[in-house]
């Protein structure tokens, strides 16, 4: 291993990595660093890959005395190896990496390759009082990925191996820093492509001596990315690479990203890795298959893998006390309603994030005096389905129905467990089937779209076909009838046992925070399926669900299953 120790002691330096043939960004970063007073410029390797015209980065590096260390790419190119040695394990990641590598290898001059032979593996220097080691991947391996989500224990071992106060690296293409036991690790990111953050700028780091310590500043730099995109197209580089340059979102090399980092990006899986059996009982508003927009990659949010449904528990109390209520609702349960102000903000967030369906559930939603106010907020903005037992449509509650009856964005979902009273009343009480059917008839006479939800139990299973026929006779379309199995939650002592790792997420907001799925909420609040105690920003919960969905998937390579309540 070749290590260079700098003789000079600097006060301010600029450090960047991952040039990836992007000469336009390189020149912009050098200009910016000089304007900020950097006394020395360092590149932590990977000059090639991804972009066009590999030789074009050589001149700016030479003319500006940029001190480079060897990345895995540079080692592969100068030694004429068959691949870049990035360390990807997924074949789809490797496919794109190989295209970029073959292009770079073919178009890098022998003189430039020769120059790469002068690169050390590490550089040591002093910044004020602090010692600094610069590496490409980590002190242990040139192609090791050090992510923000890498556990502290692993990072601590790398910091100890470094033996310096600061350890600077790149290789992942994402910038971040962390202090552990008085030592700091700074991943300076990459300037060859954006940081999967929806911005077209690229990032580098300025490090300044400050009162005996060192300050890090991550700097975004804009450059002529449209010209770069044009050059890439002229060179026939893959269109997904061009899209990344133009949008700031990564569309290739996804599988190498750990779940935390991947959840921050727009795309989460290669399309072929995202196939899932959706089954018959797709929820209202779902697409039955992944949308095909021509890309190789998909965002899982808004697909059957993570439907764009938001559930809201408006209240927990109910006029009924069904023996199998998974929420445990009854007339004595504390109401704990969602406040109107919070609901308003929630609808704003949901709309901005692209949620396409809102479900209001409880408890019995029509017990809530402010239900009409909530619907005034949601119905103009997002399709809203209210779950109800349909037994309270009188007086002011009937007025609520009348107000929204003909709004295309408004519908009801009523629980009906059988085509004959006995099957329904067994769990819900005598006379409840008759009252539900009267409520359904009344709502439909007002013009309300009524959907039916059936909880399937061993007792009513055989009666489901009869129920389907009865609903058809009533004019309720088959797609407006969902049958879901009984789950063992709340008051129910039997039924399907479910846990987060087997469930497709359907984010659910209640007075106590955000849950993974409506089945994760009962009269005691959020149970084992907690996502966050903080409702806002809702975006964080979406990212959390993506992250954990990917974690669950990676345990055995399979994807979670759907349990739809609507």
The binding site for ligand SF4 (CB under 6 A) comprises 318, 320-322, 325, 327, 329-330, 362-364, 389, 415, 428
Q: How far is the CB of 330 from ligand SF4 (least distance, A)?
A: 6
3-state SS, one letter per residue, for 501-556? HHECCCCEEECCEEECCHHHEECCEECCCEEECCCCCHHHHHHHHHHHHHHHHHHH
- 19 in Cβ contact with 116 (< 8 Å): no
Q: How far apart are CA 367 and CA 431, in angstroms?
A: 19
Q: How far is the CB of 372 from ligand SF4 (least distance, A)?
A: 20
- Pairing between β-strand 410-415 and β-strand 384-388 as defined by DSSP bridges: parallel
Alpha-carbon torsion 201, 204, 209, 213, what sign? positive
Q: How far is the CB of 427 from ligand SF4 (least distance, A)?
A: 8
Residue among 306 and 324 whose Cβ is closer to ligand SF4:
324
- 537 in Cβ contact with 526 (< 8 Å): no
Q: How far is the CB of 324 from ligand SF4 (least distance, A)?
A: 7
Residue among 47 and 390 whose Cβ is closer to ligand SF4:
390
Residue among 108 and 415 whose Cβ is closer to ligand SF4:
415
Ordered alpha helix ranges (H), 64-219 = 72-78, 91-107, 110-116, 152-162
Residue among 229 and 322 whose Cβ is closer to ligand SF4:
322
Q: How far is the CB of 317 from ligand SF4 (least distance, A)?
A: 9
Q: How far is the CB of 337 from ligand SF4 (least distance, A)?
A: 14
Q: How far is the CB of 365 from ligand SF4 (least distance, A)?
A: 9
- 57 in Cβ contact with 21 (< 8 Å): yes
Residue among 44 and 390 whose Cβ is closer to ligand SF4:
390
Residue 263 contacts by C-beta under 8 Å, 6 or more apart in sequence? 543, 544, 546, 547, 550
Residue among 9 and 527 whose Cβ is closer to ligand SF4:
527
Q: How far is the CB of 432 from ligand SF4 (least distance, A)?
A: 8
DSSP letter for each residue of 309-369: EEEEE--S--S---TT-SS---TTS---PPPHHHHHHHHHHHHHHT--EEEEESS-GGG-T
Residue among 105 and 489 whose Cβ is closer to ligand SF4:
489
Residue among 183 and 428 whose Cβ is closer to ligand SF4:
428
Q: How far apart are CA 476 and CA 469, in angstroms?
A: 10
């Amino acid at each position: 291993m070749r290590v260079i120790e700098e003789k000079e002691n600097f006060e301010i330096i600029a450090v960047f990595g991952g040039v990836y043939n992007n000469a336009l960004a390189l020149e912009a970063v050098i200009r910016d660093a000089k304007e900020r007073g950097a006394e020395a410029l360092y590149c932590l390797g990977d000059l090639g890959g991804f972009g066009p015209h590999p030789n074009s980065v050589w001149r700016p590096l030479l003319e500006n005395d940029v001190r480079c260390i060897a990345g895995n790419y540079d080692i592969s190119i100068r030694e004429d190896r068959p691949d870049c040695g990035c360390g990807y394990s997924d074949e789809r990641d490797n496919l794109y990496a190989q295209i970029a590598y073959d292009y770079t290898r073919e178009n890098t001059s022998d003189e430039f390759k020769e120059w790469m032979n002068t690169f050390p593996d590490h550089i040591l220097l002093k910044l004020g009082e602090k010692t600094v080691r610069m590496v490409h991947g980590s002190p242990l391996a040139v192609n090791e990925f050090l992510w923000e989500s890498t556990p502290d224990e692993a990072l601590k071992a790398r910091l100890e191996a470094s033996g310096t106060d600061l350890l600077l690296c790149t290789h992942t293409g994402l910038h971040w820093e962390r202090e552990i036991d008085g030592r700091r690790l700074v991943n300076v990111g990459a300037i060859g492509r954006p940081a999967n953050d929806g911005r077209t700028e690229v990032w580098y780091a300025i490090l300044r001596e400050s009162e005996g310590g060192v300050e890090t500043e991550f700097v975004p730099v804009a450059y002529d990315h449209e010209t770069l995109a044009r050059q890439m197209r002229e060179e026939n580089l893959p269109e997904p690479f061009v899209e990344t340059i133009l949008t700031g979102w990564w569309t290739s090399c996804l599988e190498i990203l750990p779940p935390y980092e991947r959840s921050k990006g727009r795309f989460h899986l290669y399309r072929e890795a995202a196939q899932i059996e959706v089954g018959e009982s797709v929820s209202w508003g779902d697409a039955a298959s992944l949308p095909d927009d021509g890309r190789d990659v998909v965002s899982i949010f808004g697909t059957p893998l993570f439907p764009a449904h938001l559930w809201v528990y408006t209240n927990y109390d109910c006029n009924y006390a069904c023996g199998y209520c998974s929420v445990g609702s009854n007339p004595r349960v504390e109401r704990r309603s969602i406040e109107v102000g919070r609901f308003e903000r929630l609808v704003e967030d949901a709309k901005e994030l692209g949620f396409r369906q809102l479900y209001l559930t409880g408890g019995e939603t029509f017990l809530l005096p402010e239900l009409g106010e909530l619907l005034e907020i949601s119905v103009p903005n997002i399709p809203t389905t209210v779950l109800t037992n349909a037994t309270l449509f009188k007086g002011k509650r009937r007025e609520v129905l009348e107000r929204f009856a003909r709004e295309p964005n408004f519908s009801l979902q009523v629980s009906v467990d059988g085509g004959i009273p006995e099957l329904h009343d067994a769990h819900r009480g005598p006379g409840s089937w008759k009252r539900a059917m009267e409520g359904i008839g009344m709502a439909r006479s007002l013009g309300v779209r009524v959907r039916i939800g059936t909880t399937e139990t061993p007792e009513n299973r055989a009666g489901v076909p009869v129920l389907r026929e009865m609903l058809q006779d009533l004019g309720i379309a088959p797609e407006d009838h969902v049958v879901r199995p009984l789950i063992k939650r709340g008051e129910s002592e039997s039924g399907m046992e479910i846990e987060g790792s087997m469930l497709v997420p359907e984010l659910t907001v209640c007075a106590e925070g955000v849950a993974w799925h409506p089945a994760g909420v009962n009269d005691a609040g959020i149970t084992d399926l907690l996502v966050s105690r903080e409702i806002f920003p809702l975006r964080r919960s979406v990212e959390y669900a993506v992250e954990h969905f990917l974690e669950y998937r990676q345990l055995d390579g399979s994807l979670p299953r759907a349990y739809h309540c609507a």
